[in-house]
Amino acid sequence: MPESPSRASVDYETARRDFRWERPEHFNFATDVIDRHAAERPQAPALQWSDESGRSRTFTFQELKERSLHAARFLSGLGLARGDRAFILMPRVPEWWFLVLGCIRAGIVFMPGTPMLTAKDIRYRLEAASAKAVLTDASCLDRFEGVRDAAGVTTWVSTGDAPSPWTRYASEALPESQAVAFPPTRAEEPLLIYFTSGTTGMPKMVQHTQASYGQGHRITGRYWLDLKSEDRHLTLSDTGWAKCAWGKLFGPWSEGACNVVHDFRGRFDPVAFLKVLERERVTTFCAPPTAWRALVLQDLKAVDLSSLRHTVSAGEPLNPEVIETWKEATGLFIREGYGQTETVVIVGMFPSLPPRMGSMGKPSPGFTVGVINEQGEEVADGQEGDIAVRVKPERPVGLFQGYLNDDAANAASSRGDWYVTGDRAVRDAEGYLWFVGRSDDVIKTSGYRVGPFEVESALLEHPAVAESAVIGVPDDKIGQRIKAYVLLTPGHTASPALAQELQDFVKKTTAPYKYPREIEFVSELPKTVSGKIRRAELRATQKP
Ligand code: ATP
Ligand code: MG
């Protein structure tokens, strides 16, 4: 794929038709991508970092190369070898990127975790994945008290001074002449292990290869984010989620764009965050729906967002109401992208596609995405089925290798020629995909199937509703009855009259059988640490 700094957005139909996966024998994101940018544009900004205290640093591609050469030498000097697994838990500090690139160079398999994890979560991850090393930040050391006896971990690294067995990591730039040469990694060699978000149950371990994420995310960066080398891209995610790999690592750097990172700790502050977009002159911006829902409640006219070229969303479905509000204020459509920790972006509202409000878009170049039935056959347009990726006769490069140590999950995700995602959708006659829900979340009521998201989106159109979660409650007569947990916007108070008003409102906005027969007002919704609504947790509290 040739690179030209000011190319126009790629035409979707042409890309679908012409795209072929390259399948080189060897691939390494650090040497093949970062070092190439360093050679071609050494002084171009690669990482623009800032934090809440006002500190700010810019690292060029050349610095990124030299600091990751140093990190690779440092890690191998500690005895870590190709194939060893290193658990990395850090806030959004530049060292995370240096160490990760160092691991990639040396073939060390990195396993990101979010700083929100507790000691118990960390122990589970270290032991489940047989980690050999822990890489962390001085601010996270307390999280490891009580896990230091975790079986198999021999190497403990922190960015701060800490007593033995901790070794201090202080980043430096290392000229190439002093660097250790590592043998090239094979494209099929393991690159990283992510834990899924745990929205439906215990997180699963997803293993990616040097190619599946390192190379596969060119789809994300080039076709969906539409990045060019002069872009300043910001994805809102902490370092522990696949979203970070999509939008804060492989996606932007594949295309030589600058990765804008703002290190905030604690709760997401939408007002402060809009100021970051303004100050950093961000050109392309990706956020999860939980953040979008908070952003559109702010005074969007109070900030100058004129630098923005694209805004995108992934991780959960995004309510049309939110897209409309943002568009009114900024003129930009929020384009959705659909994928999983297991994949790169596999369905997206690509820039050249005529947008359809509420649709996730169309299949990515390089992927055949089907909507299939229990027998593994594609269903007719307009009918609901399982979202699946064709893996035979050819497995797309941007798809994980499999779940680690989880035969049941591997079996459940395989059906005939397909990898089954666990999500449900409808494809329309034009080929657009419409998300219905996670298979487990779909509600069966009075013979109808209802995706919680459409009821939540209808509720969100009412000014009193800030956010909601909709589930099916077991019901003797109708199978399941629809129940909504509702969080109100400031200035509105819970009352039976308001509940009635919301029910009437949904009956008018959508088909009446979808209205929630029960409404409960709450002050918080259960979410994963990455901000996704855990409907499974609400279901567990229900009795027939
Ligand atoms: P777990 O697998 O542990 O339950 P998870 O599925 O939430 O957690 P992720 O891999 O972070 O873990 O999320 C992928 C899922 O997020 C998808 O399977 C889908 O349900 C949802 N998702 C992602 N993007 C979109 C989108 N644009 N629209 C609707 N849903 C989306
Ligand atoms: Mg999942």
Evaluate the CA torsion angle 262, 267, 272, 277 in order and state its sign: positive
Ligand 1: does its nearest atom lie under 6 Å from the Cβ of 457?
no
Q: Which ligand is nearest to the CA of 438?
A: 1
Q: Which atom of ligand 1 is nearest to the CA of 453?
A: 29
Which ligand gives the minimal distance to the CA of 199? 1
Q: What is the pLDDT of residue 146?
A: 87
The residues with which 194 forms a beta bridge, in sequence order, are 206
Binding site membership of 200 for ligand 1 (Cβ less than 6 Å): yes
For 10, other C-beta atoms within 10 Å of its C-beta total: 19
* Distance, CA of 355 to CA of 43 (rounded, Å): 37
**Which-ligand-closest: CA of 346?**
1
Q: Measured in angstroms, how far is the CA atom of residue 456 from the centroid of ligand 2? A: 20
Ligand 1 atom with the shortest distance to the CA of 318: 28
The DSSP line for 221-272 is: IIIIS---TT-EEEE---TTSHHHHIIIIIHHHHTT-EEEEEE--SS--HHH
360 in contact with ligand 1, CB cutoff 6 A? yes
Q: 506-540: per-residue pLDDT in tens?
A: 999 888 899 999 999 999 999 988 788 999 999 99
What span, in angstroms and rounded, lies between the C-alpha atoms of 90 and 92? 6
What are the Cα distances from residue 453, in Å, to 315, 433, 472, 501?
13, 15, 12, 19
Distance (Å, rounded) from C-alpha 512 to C-alpha 381?
24
Whether the CA torsion 83, 85, 91, 95 is positive or negative: it is: negative
Tell which residue, 172, 173, 213, has the closest CA to residue 193.
213
DSSP structure class, residue 33: I
The alpha carbon of residue 153 and the mean position of all alpha carbons in its chain are separated, in whole angstroms, by 28
| 241 CA closest ligand 1 atom index | 11
160 Cβ inside 6 Å of ligand 1: no
Q: Whose CA is nearest to atom 12 of ligand 1?
A: 197
- The whole-angstrom separation of Cα 473 and Cα 486 is 16
List the Cα angle 166/240/346 in 5-degree steps. 145
User: Is 315's C-beta closer than 6 angstroms to any atom of ligand 1?
Assistant: yes
Q: By C-alpha distance, which of 195, 247, 261 is closest to 219?
A: 247
Q: Give 498 Cα–ligand 2 centroid separation in angstroms.
A: 35
Question: How many Cα atoms are found within 13 Å in the side-chain-facing hemisphere of 229?
Answer: 20
**84 alpha-carbon distance from chain centroid:** 25
In tens, the pLDDT along 368-407 reads 999 999 999 999 999 999 999 999 999 999 999 999 999 9
CB 234 within 8 A of CB 277: yes
Q: Which helix (H) or strand (E) holds 508?
A: helix 496-509
- Enumerate the β-bridge partners of residue 157: 135, 167
- Residue 200 CA: nearest ligand 1 atom is 4
Which of 196, 312, 537 most suits a substitution to test ligand 1, by most atoms within 8 Å of the C-beta? 196
Q: First vs last Cα of the chain: how many Å apart?
A: 57
Query: Which residue owns the Cα nearest ligand 1 atom 5?
Result: 197
Residue 237 Cβ inside 6 Å of ligand 1? The answer reads: no
- Please report the pLDDT score of residue 325 as a whole number: 95
Which of 329, 340, 341, 227 shows the shortest CA–CA distance to 286?
Answer: 227
Model pTM score: 0.93
Give the C-alpha separation, 137 to 171, whole Å: 12
Q: Please, what are the averages of pLDDT over each run of 10 residues along the chain (544 residues)?
A: 60 96 97 98 98 96 98 98 98 98 98 92 93 97 90 94 94 94 96 90 92 97 97 96 97 98 92 97 96 94 96 95 95 98 98 95 98 98 98 97 94 97 98 95 91 93 95 93 96 96 94 94 91 91 73
Which ligand is in closest contact with the Cα of 203?
Answer: 1
Find the Cα–Cα–Cα–Cα dihedral 116, 221, 427, 314, rounded to 10°. 20
Query: How many Å lie between the centroid of ligand 2 and the Cα of residue 7?
Result: 35
Q: Is-contact 254 37, C-beta < 8 A?
A: no
pLDDT for the residue 544: 57
Q: Are 47 and 263 in contact (CB under 8 A)?
A: no
Beta bridge partners of 263: 51
* 203 close to ligand 1 (CB < 6 Angstrom): yes
Expressed in angstroms and rounded, the spacing between residue 183 Cα and the centre of ligand 1 is: 36
pLDDT for the residue numbered 199: 83
How far, in whole angstroms, is CA 261 from its chain's centroid?
15
Amino acid in position 116: M
**Residue 288 CB contacts under 8 Å (≥ 6 apart), including other chains:** 236, 237, 243, 313, 314, 315, 316, 530, 531, 532
Other C-beta atoms lying within 10 Å of the C-beta of residue 359: 23
Check if the interface score ipTM surpasses 0.85: yes
Residue whose CA is closest, atom 15 of ligand 1? 340
How long is the chain?
Answer: 544
Q: Point out the ligand nearest to the CA of residue 335.
A: 1
pLDDT at 1: 42
252 close to ligand 1 (CB < 6 Angstrom): no
Interval between CA 128 and ligand 1 midpoint (Å):
22
Atom of ligand 1 nearest to the CA of 341: 10
